[in-house]
């Protein structure tokens, strides 16, 4: 069965937190994830639905994103794919879905920040059309003390 997209809801918090902690070296807390359901945010998630018996259906969260949207600008705040599901195109599908939602909301400027050491995420963003447009020095805490944030931008057609 092919994965399906839907917005996240507060009922998904347990699954989000489990995936968050598995995927991220520096995961968001449950409280921060719970704050992502405020008015200025929009979300998307990818689920594998399995029919186990005639009446029994289960869902597995493959990945999700959380973004904010203000006027014509959006920042991608979080994106992750379950570690055992990475490398199969789900991250790219999530960003494509996110950009489609941006277009529907007439958003033209898409921003994000990513750890300088996170080469997989930077490669994904570049593959989806983002370009680096600056750095914030020593922005994130890291095992080595601090590391830079790479700022990336993608402009959508009006
Ligand atoms: C970043 C992340 C979302 C990518 O998800 P994914 O499902 O593995 O990515 P995809 O399979 O869709 O890959 C799409 C493209 O991204 C790039 N990419 C993804 N993983 C990569 C890796 N480990 N190394 C290099 N490039 C990579 C490639 O360009 C790839 O295209 P290709 O398959 O044609 O080569 C995933 O690795 C993840 O959840 N990481 C932990 C959380 C995180 O760092 N989030 C981002 C910061 S908030």
Distance, in Å, from the CA atom of 11 to the CA atom of 158, rounded to the nearest integer, reads: 35
CA–centroid distance, 127 to ligand 1, in Å, is 9
Check if 121 has its Cβ closer than 6 Å to any atom of ligand 1: yes
Quote the domain boundaries for residue 112.
4-155
Active-site positions? 113, 125
Q: What is the pLDDT of residue 88?
A: 97
Ligand 1, closest atom to CA 94?
12
Q: What is the CATH number of the domain that holds 31?
A: 3.40.630.30
Residue to substitute in 91, 115, 119, 127 for testing ligand 1 pocket (most ligand atoms within 8 angstroms of CB)? 91
pLDDT tens track of the chain, all 158 residues? 789 999 999 999 999 999 999 999 999 999 999 999 988 999 999 999 887 777 777 899 999 999 999 999 999 999 999 999 999 999 999 999 999 999 999 999 999 999 999 999 999 999 999 999 999 999 999 888 999 999 999 999 86
Task: Answer yes or no: is 118 a known binding residue.
Answer: yes
Distance, in Å, from the CA atom of 121 to the CA atom of 5, rounded to the nearest integer, reads: 21
Among protein residues, the one whose CA lies closest to atom 42 of ligand 1: 80
Comparing CA positions, the residue from 51, 38, 40 lying closest to residue 4 is 51
Q: Which two tokens stand for residue 31?
A: 């409280």
Ligand 1, closest atom to CA 88?
11
Ligand 1, closest atom to CA 76?
48
Q: What is the pLDDT of residue 56?
A: 78
Comparing CA positions, the residue from 123, 120, 115 lying closest to residue 143 is 115
| End-to-end Cα distance, the chain | 35
Check if 152 has its Cβ closer than 6 Å to any atom of ligand 1: no
CA–centroid distance, 157 to ligand 1, in Å, is 25
Domain count across the chain: 1
- Phi/psi class of residue 87: alpha, beta or left (left: φ > 0; alpha: ψ in -120 to 50)? left
Distance, in Å, from the CA atom of 35 to the CA atom of 33, rounded to the nearest integer, reads: 5
């Amino acid at each position: 069965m092919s994965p399906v997209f839907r917005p996240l809801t507060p009922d998904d918090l347990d699954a989000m937190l489990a995936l968050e902690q598995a995927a991220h070296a520096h995961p968001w807390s449950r409280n921060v994830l719970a704050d992502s359901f405020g008015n200025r945010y929009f979300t998307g998630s990818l689920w594998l639905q399995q029919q186990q018996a005639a009446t029994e259906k289960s869902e597995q969260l493959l990945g999700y994103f959380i973004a904010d949207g203000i006027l014509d600008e959006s920042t991608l705040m979080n994106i992750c794919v379950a570690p055992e599901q990475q490398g199969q195109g789900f991250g790219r599908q999530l960003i494509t879905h996110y950009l489609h939602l941006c277009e529907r909301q007439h958003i033209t400027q898409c921003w994000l920040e990513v750890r300088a050491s996170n080469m997989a995420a930077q490669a994904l963003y570049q593959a989806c059309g983002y370009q680096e447009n600056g750095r914030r020095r020593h922005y994130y805490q890291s095992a080595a003390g601090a590391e830079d944030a790479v700022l990336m931008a993608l402009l959508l057609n009006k």
